[in-house]
Amino acid sequence: MMLNIRGENIEITPAIRDYVDKKLSRFDRYFDEELTARVNAKVFHDKQRIEVTIPGTYMLLRAEEEHADLYAAVDLVIDKLDRQIRKHKTKVNRKLREKGSLKFMFAPSTTEAAVAVEEHENDIELVRTKQFDLKPMDAEEAVLQMNMLGHNFFVFLNGDTNKTNIVYARKDGRYGLIEAK
């Protein structure tokens, strides 16, 4: 895998470059083609952020993580990318096996552990279905309801627009709003 590393407020040392290269090289087994990974390392006052983007022919993999230690952030982002790749690979290979006529996008896994993980990821199990009435309210009231319930998202009917909206808690401690068209 080709590597393009850029640092903001940090000098990319050979040790950092080698560590990232070593971690990303484990993804070579998933792809037949040569990919280029773009890595952006940013340093803030008390935390380090690592962003990795891997553009492929039929997909775009992207993950970012923050941590006090840059190497720990790299490990976390690699774990995220690994989950994305395995999930996508499983879905693509399952669809292609059903059709039977297209070339597989990913190289086949050879280890028993990889096969076991892929089989486990095929099992999508809905463990609970919940129905409820949407109450008209504004976004601020929805955030209060979400926090009161201890959830990380809340679905509500926007009283101003009469459309279904979702508020959610972001990793940075702030809140987001999703509005349906």
Shared domain for 6 and 74, answered yes or no, is yes
Residues 37, 67, single domain; the answer is yes
Measured CA to CA in angstroms, residue 27 lies from 87, 112, 116, 155 at distances of 13, 17, 18, 37
- Domain containing 77 equals 2-122
The answer to whether residue 131 sits within a structural domain is no
73/146 same-domain check:
no
**Is residue 130 situated within a structural domain?**
no
> Rounded CA gap, 105 and 75, in Å?
26
Q: Which of 30-34, 72-76, 150-154, 160-164 has the lowest mean pLDDT?
A: 30-34
Cβ-Cβ contacts under 8 Å for 118 (sequence gap 6 or more): 86, 89, 90, 93, 109
Distance CA 158, CA 156 (A): 6
**69 and 116 together in one domain:** yes
Q: Are strands 153-158 and 164-169 parallel, antiparallel or unpaired?
A: antiparallel
Residue 128 located in a structural domain: no
Say if residue 7 is in the same domain as residue 68. yes
34: confidence class by pLDDT, cuts 50, 70, 90:
confident
Domains held by the chain: number: 2
Same domain for 157 and 118: no
- State pLDDT tens for residues 39-57: 999 998 889 999 999 887 7
| Share in percent of the chain as helix, strand, coil (round to 5) | 40, 30, 35
Same domain, yes or no: 161 and 100: no
Answer for the pair 4, 39: CB distance below 8 angstroms, yes or no.
yes
At 88, which CATH number? 3.30.160.100
Q: Measure the CA–CA gap between 171 and 158, rounded to whole angstroms.
A: 24
| CATH at residue 162 | 3.30.505.50
Residues 110 and 144 in one domain: no
Handedness of CA 13, 15, 18, 23 (dihedral sign): negative
Residues 81 and 107 in one domain: yes
Read off the pLDDT of residues 57-76 as tens digits, 9 standing for 90 and up: 767 788 999 999 999 999 99
Asked if 142 and 116 sit in the same domain, the reply is no
